[in-house]
Every structure is written in C-alpha cells, then in structure tokens.
Amino acid sequence: AEHPPGPDTEGQVLVASNRGPVSFTLGEDGSLTARRGGGGLVTGLSALRPGTGTWICAALGEGDRAAVARFGSRLDPADTGGQAVRMLDIPAGTFEAAYNGVANSVLWFIHHLLYQTPFEPVFDAAFEAQWSEYAAYNAAFADALTEDAAPGSAVLVQDYHLSLVPGLLRERRPDLRVGHFSHTPWAPPELFRVLPDAIARRVLLGILGADRAAFLTRRWARAFAACCADVLGAEMSEADGLTVTHGGRTTRLGVHGLGADAEFLRERAFRPDVDERLAALRAQVGDRRTIVRVDRTELSKNIVRGLLAYRRLLTDRPQWRGRVTHVAFAYPSRQDLAVYREYTAEVSRVAEEINAAFGTEGWTPVVLHVKDDFARSLAAYRMADVALVNPIRDGMNLVAKEVPVVSERGCALVLSREAGAAAELGEDALLVNPYDIAGTAEALHRALSMDADERDRRTKRLSAAATALPPQTWFLEQLAALRG
C-alpha cells in the first residue's frame, strides 16, 4: 500500500544513476538491512516501478556488495521500495576512483564553485589513472544499459557521475532515446575550464550524446550551453527552446524544477513516530523560537557560515539570547573524503563554541544532531519558526521546498540566492548572499521578527510554489519531452 503503482510510461524506461533507491548495511552477524536512499535524485525518480522500467545503479559499499553476492545483481522489488533494481558490482578500485576521485573531488567542487575550500586539483598521472577508472565506471553502466534496453527504449541517465554514458550509448545503441539529467548546478565556463581541455571536452561531448540534457533551473542549463560554446565552439540557440548544436547534431536542453511531494509529506509527517520526535524536540527547546536547518554535512551547504550567522545574531541582537534555539541537523556524508571529515568536525566545534560562549544553565543555543533520522527531520520541519537554507550553491535544495509544506506554525524561509530553489521561491523567502554572514544574521532577525500573519501568508505561497512539479509529474514530463 505504501508504493502506488507506477505511472503509465508507454514503453520501457531505464534509469541509470550512481546512487540507487536502496542501500544495504551488513550487520556483524552477517544480516543485511535494506535502507531507502535519500536526496533529490532518489526522490525525483521514485515514480519508477517494475513493469515500467529498471533502475541501474552502483553497489556503494560492503553492504551493497554483500547483497549482490547473496541475491545477485537484480534485486527483489520487495527489498527496494517497490522498484526493479539492477545493482552493478563495479570493482572497488574503479568505484573509489570514479566516485570519490573524479566525481566528488573534482566535478562536484567545480559545479558548486567550492574554490575557496581546499580544492587544489592536480591533474597529474594519478588523476589520469582516476580518470580512466571514471571512464571504465561509465562504460560499465553503458554495457548494462545496452544489454537491458529493448529497442527504442527511453533511458534516463542521472548526474555528473555518468557524464560519458549518453555518448557511449549514442555509438552503441542509436535506436535508444537518451536523456541526461544534472541534479547539481552547472559551472560557469571560467571555472569549468579548470579541467584539462581533453577532459572538459569529453564531459561535454558525453552529455551532448543525449537527445535531451536537462537541468533543475534555467540558470544551470544556460551555464552548460555556455561551456559547450566556450570549450567546443558549439552553437547555442534559443529559437526553438534552448539547443546546442555541435558536429552536425543538435541536443535539446530542458528545465524541470523538481518540486516537493506534498501528498507523501503531509501523510508521512503526521505519523506517530514523527509526533514522538516532535515532543522530544519540544521538551529540549521549550517554548523558544526555533531556527531549523537540515542538511547532509556537505561543504556546499555552508553549515559553518550558517552557525557563524547565528552567532552574529546573538552578538548583535542580544534580545534573542535565551529566546531562540538553533536546531541544526547535519547528517554524515562522503566520509571517505578527508575534507568532508574535517568539515564535519568543524561543524561540531563551531556549535560547541557558540554553546560555550552564550549558553546558560537552562538554555543550549545550538542543538546539533548528526545521526540521520528522517522522522526527526520532519518533526523539525513541523516545529520550525525559521528555516535556514544557505548553500554556497545548490542544484535545487528540496529542504527549502519541503519545510513550507509541513510547517505547522508558518515558517519564515531564509534562503540562499544561489540555490536553484530561489528561482521559484524568491518572492516569499528572505534571500541572502551565502557568503555574507552579517547579511544572513540580519535576515535571521527579520525572519524571527516577522508577524504571524505575514509568515502564514508567505508560507502558503511558498508551499504552493514548492509543490508545483511533484516527483511523479517531473518524471513523466521528462519522458514526454524526450519522446516528443
């Protein structure tokens, strides 16, 4: 009952992404527990059902590898949340180089403009070796898709991990309709050109192998087109929708701004497990106002500057001391990378410093939780007076869209102007420059001071804008556009 039948997709659809809808953890006793994957990509593609298609993804860790060894790579839909999943057991060295090396240590940093963090790419022999593993990883997906796709199928390739797959499919299976979707921002040419020329060309040509390359906002689509023009000398046109023409082929660009799933959220957020967590949080913060944030502990999410802005609020506006609590959930992410581990430690350190500087016997200024708990995140959404979403850059940011949907008190949204969501929510959110700590502190003050009627009005409009394109429609819209 939890998983409705899939949408009518009129024919076979294959989805390919690094992270799939499920991952397994291996218990000490050898037992395997399946857990649903999080994040915008998984949320957006959750409409795929057996009978309509198959989702091809990578085995991400020892749990997934053990599951493939035990059950085979085609998983039982009962274990996957109702989806037909084929999990590829990519050799560990290839996966490590492709995912942690090329995708997350280079492409992610470039698209998110994380140049002021320790991003010092060295394109030497070691990188070249990683790049060939990235190519091998992409080839493994292309092999699996070539094998599984019935003639004329639609294939939806996801994200920066798989930028070479559309080009490979174009060579091998010209009968397929291939779409590529970027869930990240796209870098402006000045930064994209940090990549060695040959690699920059391969990434762009790989994606241009698709019939259609789609993005979360117009801004990211235009940045991609600008990179194609700059690096490849491709022609971009807006005459009949945005297109890029190179080497005699035209790729259409599309924009689909993934929205929040109102129906799912409104049902899920009011179940007893969420009520329980809400009561526990309430007991912790009392009747104080709350500023809530929920993120992966991710450099681009800008959590440390968010804490510093809160600190600045307490410094400059002493009237809030003791009257507000910052409820910050920062869930572990990409802990194989040293820079993420260091960032995680810094988040805790700054939170502790604020608590040491301002805390009193009855008041803990920052309540930081680092253990991923979806029910508790929903409880925080419900109780929030203010939501802080201040990424340096973000493809969309679904938290900004989810909070207004389940908010019980009318929640003021302080939102980075560099998040894709700002394009749709900009009128009713308080937009901030994510680098500007004083400006963010001032926006927090305005948000906390907003009167209840105005908050309520804004929240209603935010919620309507945030749910304009729910996942199922987002998915079908892309398929229709690919086939059209």
Q: Which residues bind ligand F6P (CB under 6 A)?
A: 19, 39-41, 159, 183-184, 333-334, 395
The closest residue (CB) to ligand F6P is 39
Report the nearest approach of ligand F6P to the CB of residue 298 (Å).
8
CA pair distance 462, 467, nearest whole angstrom: 9
CA pair distance 45, 476, nearest whole angstrom: 10
Indicate the residue among 98 and 228 with the shorter CB distance to ligand F6P.
Answer: 98
Candidates 196, 187, 145; CA nearest to 166 is: 145
Report the nearest approach of ligand F6P to the CB of residue 48 (Å).
15
Report the nearest approach of ligand F6P to the CB of residue 483 (Å).
24
Indicate the residue among 183 and 458 with the shorter CB distance to ligand F6P.
Answer: 183
Indicate the residue among 98 and 443 with the shorter CB distance to ligand F6P.
Answer: 98
Task: Round the CA-based radius of gyration of the chain to a whole number and report it.
Answer: 22
Q: Is 415 exposed, middle or buried (0-12, 13-18, 19+ CB in 10 A)?
A: buried
Strand partners, 414: 388, 430
Indicate the residue among 19 and 180 with the shorter CB distance to ligand F6P.
Answer: 19
Indicate the residue among 52 and 333 with the shorter CB distance to ligand F6P.
Answer: 333
Report the nearest approach of ligand F6P to the CB of residue 19 (Å).
4
Candidates 390, 194, 188; CA nearest to 300 is: 390
Report the nearest approach of ligand F6P to the CB of residue 35 (Å).
13
The identity of residue 20, as a single letter, is G
Report the nearest approach of ligand F6P to the CB of residue 441 (Å).
27
| Residue 281, CB-side half-sphere exposure with 13 Å CA sphere | 31
Q: How far, CA to CA in Å, does 40 sit from each of 44, 122, 303, 314, 398?
A: 6, 30, 19, 33, 7
Q: How far is CA 455 from the centre of its chain?
A: 27
Q: How far, CA to CA in Å, does 416 sit from each of 421, 430, 467?
A: 9, 8, 19
Indicate the residue among 39 and 118 with the shorter CB distance to ligand F6P.
Answer: 39
Strand partners, 421: none
Report the nearest approach of ligand F6P to the CB of residue 186 (Å).
11
Indicate the residue among 410 and 434 with the shorter CB distance to ligand F6P.
Answer: 434
